[in-house]
Structure 1
Amino acid sequence: MRIGIVGAGALGGMFAGLLARSGHEVRLTARGETLDALAGGRLRLTGAYGEVTARVDAGPALSERPELALLCTKAQDAPAALAANAPQLAGIPLVVVQNGLGGVETARAAVSDADVFGLLTLIAAQHTEPGAWRVTAAAPSFLGRGDGPVDAAAHRIASVLSEAVPVRAIDDFRGAQWTKLVVNMLNAVPAIVGRSVQEVVDDPALRRVVTASMRETVRVGIARGIRFGALQGLDDRRLRTFARLPLAIGGIVPLRMRRAMGDVPNLGSTQQSLARGRPSEIDHLNGAVVREAEAVGADAPVNRALTALVHEAERSGPLPAARVSAILD
């Protein structure tokens, strides 16, 4: 199958390598040093899915219409990427592989006749250098759209993508998006202090802030009428119980996630953006919680403070851990 992948970040490069290994004809959009590296050699992928060396067709935009496309940019880069590739994305299945809540809606607005799906992945991957990617933790991915039951088209696309990594088509994709948003609360604090996710969760004071941001996210979701989907050992019942727990007890949730990651340092997508000197997607993660709270006349002070601190770290580099801990004082 001809598969176009828009965006050569951690997940875009990973999917390109694994789908090419599975025999698909892959076209990957890239820019700068990454495009130069792919044009002059091969894509190299290491880690949890094995060693992959693949030659993929790379360019600044899709040169022809594929049969299936994956949008793997950061959320803030999606509008420009969709506009640049809209003629090639028209009328085909388009899978949005992004954190946050609004990616599917953004794609539908930009490419009106595309058949748009969302993909939630718990895989931890890093773009280590131009032309090279590493998967630090293998995990399942979940495909769907909207609030309703899964359809035959979603099952077909999940089957294709499962040739690269395990993908399951699921009902009530929106509820699963909210659960993934809770999981993504692991991103902000590591980016602010310049430590791995494991190091942050192992620090009791920082873990307390991560727990508070997760709990606040669940409470906002409840206020928005969300029924949380089942992901990574979390589901609607567990998350509603978690929302009522004191921080000291609720810290078991990030601790369980930390154990599932293993010992290979996980930098998180937000910290990886800062390390490359690029704006992060924090406004679509913690910032999304703030906007969703405002929509019901509420506030999300922990996530508001973390959003501001990530933007400060974007400008000036890692901040002292005490700045994060002070959020809860």
Structure 2
Amino acid sequence: SVYFFNISGGEPFLRPDIVQIVELACRYLNPKVVHIPTNALMPQRIKERVEEMLIGMQTWGSGKTKLTVKPSFDGVEEFHDWVRGIPGNFKKLVWTLGLLKELQKTYPALGVGLGTVISEMNIERLPEIIAKAKELNPDTYISEVAEERAEMRNVASGITPTADRYRKAIEGFQSDTFARLKEATGLELLTQGIRHLYYDITAEWLETREQVLPCYAGITNAHISAYGELWPCAILADSRSLGNLKEHDYDFWSVWHSDRANEVRAGIKARQCDCPLANQAYANVLMSPIAMTKVGRLIAKAKFQALKEMRRAGKKQAAAHAA
């Protein structure tokens, strides 16, 4: 089984077989979480497909898989439309969010998030964007940094912010993760701690353009392209493909354990590549004793501060009663 099954795009909900893809993932991989990002341009279709998934997921596999849907949110009102290049996108985003939240009342296995890509296009407006995200009140709100990548046809576009500008921009996100750490428990506690550290890792990467932590792409994570290529990550993509599943009779393990795959992993281990890819960064943190120590210290700091705040509030309440 796998822990996290992510369906990316393009726009995943354009696939007529999106529900069948989720069904097969649940039956054969039994993931803890199925995650789907979306541009939120088809609110009613998204709602209908998500409900089909949620009904099916009650019996597919273990019946315990969670589904998370994360609309993209890169600005407020017309500015979001300008960034995304689609008039009316923001209204459809809010509409989609409302439909998904309505589904949550019936299906507790659904999580609804928002995701912002921080770029030179919107970095100056982040305070406004963060404030609006709080108003929209998703279950989770995260950010990633915009990258120049050949597959996105934006090389030399200047879209990636500098390290200094990024550090200033993420203060609001780190304030939020630290606040959540004070109250979080269990897996949510670990998730928020790793997410908080991820923002620091990304800032350091922007400064050095080197691997900040040893990377385990092609070991902890696997990516399958629409054409059957098995990638170690979405950044290296076809440039370091482990092989094509169609050419190996769809035998995943024969490609995964091939000589070519071992060569690619050796190159990653030798730090021949670097990136801030979020999903891989989270896995790298989990694999790093040094990084996990930082997460532990951060959690302890948050819990200690929460305890002090509780004591302070208790003293104020006692003083008020005495008066």
What is the TM-score when the length of structure 2 is the normalising length?
0.30
Structure 1 or 2: larger strand share? 1
Relative contact order, higher structure (CA 8 A, sep 6+): 1
Structure 1 or 2: larger helix share? 2
What is the TM-score when the length of structure 1 is the normalising length?
0.30
Q: Which has the larger radius of gyration?
A: 2
